[in-house]
Amino acid sequence: MVENSSRNAVVTGASSGIGAATVRALRAHGWNVVAVARRADRLLALAAETGAIACPADISKDDDVARLRSNVTDAFAQFGGVDTVINIAGGARGVDPVGSASVQDWEWMYQVNVLGTLKVIQAFLPELRAHGRGTVLNLTSTAGLVAYEGGAGYNAAKFGQHALNNALRLEEAEHNVRVIEVAPGLVHTEEFMLNRLGGDKEAAAKTYQGVAEPLLPEDVADVVRYAVELPQHINLDQIVVRPVAQAAAHKLIRNP
């Protein structure tokens, strides 16, 4: 932990990709960070690297979220309590059309992207209100703004998370809790497409084939860090971040 830091964040989805990069970015700027993810081994390695506090937890499970809240309260007690909650955890499963989509995949995506985000927010919202200068940042996706073929399940989950974000901003402005949405487009991470495509490495690699400069997790983490470090009276309601090669959801430049 960094002594006497006045910025205290919880970051979910911290075992890889954008979540891990966000922990690194915040720690490099002197934040106190509790890093949250299901995979304890990866989380502990990140904590050893960065000095963050590891808290293994599954945000879809009520008992885990309750334990997370208790651990965060204890960890940040001497620093004035948590002031920033960053929900990175999420994911996609499958690319099937609606007519043949797996209900189980849809349920998993809704559970992780929407209900998991909800549970984490509910756990920490009382403390963010009491702090008087709280921030919630939810990582959604451009998939929550524009639907596409084969993406309906992920679209539905991210549209839901996007709606949650907008309603929360309206509800919490009177408590001086700002609510930020970061919606990335194509980001080349080690696991997102691999998990979505059931572990098919070849198919996952084709997602990025020919794209000269897709976004990297560190790019998105820099945007997240910038947004939460702005003065409290500034709220970046929604930040859409894409690589230049992705002019829109339907237009992606691929080199031969």
Of 110, 148, 154, 226, the active-site residue reads: 154
Is the C-alpha dihedral spanning 68, 35, 169, 28 positive or negative?
A: positive
SS3 171: helix
CA separation for the pair 253, 255 (Å, rounded): 7
Q: Which amino acid is at 77?
A: A
State the DSSP code for 3: T
How many other β-carbons are positioned within 10 Å of the β-carbon of residue 129?
14
Is the C-alpha dihedral spanning 80, 26, 48, 220 positive or negative?
A: positive
Q: Which two tokens stand for residue 32?
A: 């106190």
DSSP states of 6-40 as a string? S-EEEESSTTSHHHHHHHHHHHHTT-EEEEEES-H
How many Cα atoms sit within 13 Å of 47 on the Cβ side? 18
CA separation for the pair 121, 39 (Å, rounded): 21
Strands (DSSP E) along the chain, which ranges?
A: 8-11, 32-37, 53-56, 84-87, 135-139, 178-184, 238-241, 246-248, 251-252
Q: Is 148 a catalytic residue?
A: no
| Catalytic residue list | 154
